[in-house]
Amino acid sequence: MALFGTDGVRGLANRDLTAELAVDLSIAAAHILGELGAFKGHRPKAIVGQDSRASGEFLEAAVVAGLASAGVDVYRVGVLPTPAVAFLTAEVGADLGVMISASHNPMPDNGIKFFAKGGGKLDDALEAAIEKRMGEMWERPTGKDVGRVITDDSAAERYLFHLLNTLSINLAGLKIVVDCANGASSRVGPKAYTRAGAEVIAISHEPNGWNINENCGSTHLENLKAKVKEVGADLGIAHDGDADRCLAVDSEGNEIDGDFIMAILAADWQSRGLLKNETVVGTVMSNLGFMKAMDELSINVETTAVGDRYVLEKMLANDHSLGGEQSGHIIMRHYANTGDGILTALHLMQAVKSSGKSLKELSNVMKRFPQVLINVKDVKKEKLSESAKITEQIASKESELGGAGRILVRPSGTESLVRVMVEAQSTEIAQKLAEEIAALVRSELS
C-alpha cells in the first residue's frame, strides 16, 4: 500500500507515522532531489515547519535529523501554517520544504508533506521515487559535509509581511471573528487580520499540543457561528489545523464554503481584470451551483481530481490565476503557489470592504444545490473501480437526475473510506439517492 496520499504521508503518530519512518522519508527525499540535480553547485537547504500537535515535536526532530545526516542544512521555523512553509521555501531559495501536519485530522494523527524548490508540492512520480528509495544502503557524509541545523526566528514576520503586502486597501471598519482551530494559525492569523486594519476577536487560539481541531476550526463551525452573532461581527473565518484552508460565515451565521469564496473572488477579479483567461479551476466536488454561477458570469470552469495539488497542476499548465476546492483550499497564483487560508481570508475581506456590500450580499453570486455526502467507512476502497454493480447503479441514478444534479463516488485519498456525494434540486432527492448508493457500496466492498 502506498505511503503517500493526496496530501503527503499521514497516519497515527508513533504507530503508523514513527520517528524511524520520518527519518527514512527525509533521507530518501534528500537523495532523490540530489540525484535530480536540485543540490548541484551549492550546499542544500531545507525549511522545516510544523503545526501545534505534540507529536510534531518528535517528528520534527526526526525529519531534521534525517535531512542533516544526508548533508542538508535545515532551517527550523517552528509552528507556522503549511503555506508559510511553502512561501519561505520559495523566499529563501531552499531546495526542499517539509511541513509536519495532518491538517484537519484529529490530534492523534500527524503527517509529513514535502515542497519542492519554489514552494510547490512534489508530483506523484517524485513521491513514488522517494518511497521506493526508503531504507536503502548509502554512504553517509562526514565532517563539514553533514548538514547544520539553524532556528529561523524571523520566519513568521517575513510571512506576515508577504501576506499584508498583497492587499490594496486597509480593512478598517470590519469586525471579524477568527477560529484558529488551536492550530498553526493561532499566532499569525489574528496578527495578520489586526495589522490589516480589522477589529479581531480570536477563538480557539490557545494550542496546548492536544486540542488542535478539537470541536473547533473549519470542521466544527458551531462555535464560530455563535460567536459572530454574539458580538455582532461582520463575518467569521475558520481555519483548519495547518491553516491552508479557509471557510467563512456571514453576519447571520450562514456558512460560506470554498465554492462561495471562489465565486466571490472570481467575480471580484473579473471586474478588476485580474482573472486570467476568464477561467477558474475547481474539482469534481465543486457544487453544481458554482458551475452554473460561473457560466452566468461567462467564466469558464476547468475541473480536476480532488486535491489542491491537482488544482495547482492545471493552473500552472494552463496559466490560470484562481482555483480551489469546496473544502476551502483556495489558490491565488498572483501571490502563492499553494492554498493559503489566511491569504484567502484577507482577500475575501478585501472584496467585502471594497464592494461596500456584506458577505451575505456577495454570496448571492451563487445558489448552492443541495448536496449530501456520505462517508462509507471500513470498506475495501481499492476495489471500487472493479465493481460493475456500483458503476451501473451510478449511471442509472444519474440518468434519473438528468441535468438537475450529479453523483460522485470516490475513494478517499487520506482515509480508509469511500465518499458518496449526490447533488439534486432538493435535499430529499439527494439524501435518498446517496443512501441507496452508499448501501450498495457497503454491500459490495465490505
User: Which residues are the active-site residues?
Assistant: 103
Distance (Å, whole) CA 445 – CA 434: 16
Cα–chain center distance at 387: 31
CB 172 within 8 A of CB 230: no
Q: What is the C-alpha separation between 353 and 203, in angstroms, rounded?
A: 23
For 112, phi and psi rounded to 5 degrees? -135, 125
d(CA 101, CA 107): 10
**What is d(CA 423, CA 426) in angstroms, rounded to the nearest whole number?**
8
In one-letter notation, the amino acid at residue 56 is G
The DSSP bridge pattern shows strands 109-116 and 8-12 to be antiparallel
Q: Compute CA 236 distance to the chain's CA centroid, rounded to the nearest angstrom.
A: 19
b/e per residue 24-43 (b: at least 16 CB within 10 A)? bbbbbbbbbbbeeeebeeee
Cell of 364: 448571492
Q: Which helix (H) or strand (E) holds 419?
A: strand 417-423
The H or E element that residue 261 is part of is helix 258-271
Cβ-contact 86, 184 below 8 angstroms: no
The secondary element (H helix, E strand) that includes residue 351 is helix 341-355
Rounded distance, CA 330 to CA 326, Å? 9
How do beta strands 73-79 and 45-50 pair?
parallel
| Assigned C-alpha cell, 225 | 457561528
Q: To which H or E segment does residue 21 belong?
A: helix 19-35
